[in-house]
Copies of this chain bind each other. A is one copy, B any other.
Amino acid sequence: MARRERGMYYAVIMAGGSGTRLWPMSRRNRPKQSLKLIGERTLFQQAVDRLSPVFPPDRILVVTKSAHVPLLQPQTPDLIIDNFIVEPLGRGTAPALGLAAVHLRQRDPDAVMAVLTADHCIADIPAFHQVLAGAQSAAEEGYLVTLGIPPTFPATGYGYIQKGEILSGESDQPVYRVKRFTEKPDAQEAAEMVSGGEFLWNSGMFIWRASRLLEELQRQMPGFHSQLLEVEASMRDPREYAATLARVWPQVGEQTIDYGVMEGARNTVVIPARIGWIDVGSWSSLFDLLPRDPAGNVLIGPHQTVDTRDTLVMGAKRLIATIGVDNLVIVDTDDALLVCAKERVQDVRIIVKQLENAKHTEWI
């Protein structure tokens, strides 16, 4: 395939998740990225805001589910509606990114895509831009680049990446070969990995040539790759494309990019990204993001407290009064309320699962 020296650089924001761990604020039809969890802009708006200085609007794409488009699109009037790549239904990150890759290949065979998330907070945006620039260079050389976050605690909620030999050390942006990707570890494994200094958190942000991803999909997920080619072949006609996608996508198997592609991929590298990256994946991680009062509380919305410590109160209209409690997460919405021990916030998923099983769809 003829290939220009440098493809255009695109940002692809993944905004298809629903974030059940932030229930009851996030819901099936009110996903996490559409919420104003920190400050006055939604997480999705913040994801776009931090890209705007380096990507023009026509090179910012969004991959999401059709159900989320009416929520997300009005939040970012500067983005081009055609740049919303809409899955009829979510099939995991591998199909979502495969779909984005064929869209980009149609625009530019050498397109480089930065896969970015809409459910993280990035505190050091200049550093983030610098990392994106360094990653672009590595991607142009054909590498699959992962951004790795230097761990700050032995997290069991993330996958880890073990650094291998250094690839290029000349700049202050070192690039390492990936020795291995690991799944979410248990507490002991996490402690060992973090103390050793060789492991980074897998941020879920990747930079690669669209064509390189498609190569890997062809090699590692050939069935899905064929489905993708069928979709790509229909792209010249919008109606045919819509019909093909609607027919093919429900037959696509669910797969994550980590397991389906990265763990078995060739020429994977990792760039340590010291960018103030903070996951907003759970109430406790959100808690860690927000400024606390002297008693260790984060109190949002009308509240009245007596002897309350280390507690997150996320309210809106109604008054929330707390007495003699600590290490709680209290999240109040119009129709549902969560009261959860801080160390148990991961189990919010169980509540959502219970509601699903009981067919209480009004609350999920």
Partner-B contacts on A (CB < 8 A):
23-24, 304, 306-307, 315, 317-325, 328, 330, 332, 334-341, 343-345, 347-348, 350-351, 354-355, 360, 363
Beyond A335-B318, A336-B318, whether A324 also contacts B306 by CB under 8 A is no
Q: Which 4 A-B pairs have the closest CB atoms?
A: A324-B341, A324-B344, A323-B340, A319-B336
Chain A contact residues: over half helix, strand or loop, or mixed?
mixed
Complex Cα–Cα for A210 and B332 (A): 52
Closest residue of chain B to A320 (Cβ to Cβ) is B337
Question: Is the pair B325, A340 in contact by a Cβ cutoff of 8 Å?
Answer: yes
Complex Cα–Cα for A332 and B336 (A): 10
Question: Is the pair B323, A328 in contact by a Cβ cutoff of 8 Å?
Answer: no
* Copies of this protein in the complex: 2
Within 8 Å by CB of A344, from B307, B317, B332, B343, lies: B307
Complex Cα–Cα for A360 and B320 (A): 13
Question: Is the pair B323, A325 in contact by a Cβ cutoff of 8 Å?
Answer: no
Beyond A330-B339, A335-B318, whether A354 also contacts B323 by CB under 8 A is no
Beyond A328-B339, A337-B337, A355-B304, whether A347 also contacts B323 by CB under 8 A is yes
Beyond A328-B339, A336-B318, whether A323 also contacts B344 by CB under 8 A is yes
A251 to chain B, nearest CB (A): 34
| Residues of B close to A336: CB separation below 8 A | 318-321
Complex Cα–Cα for A347 and B315 (A): 22
Within 8 Å by CB of A338, from B315, B321, B343, lies: B321
Within 8 Å by CB of A323, from B324, B351, B360, lies: B351
Complex Cα–Cα for A306 and B347 (A): 8
Question: Is the pair B304, A354 in contact by a Cβ cutoff of 8 Å?
Answer: yes
| Residues of B close to A24: CB separation below 8 A | 319, 321
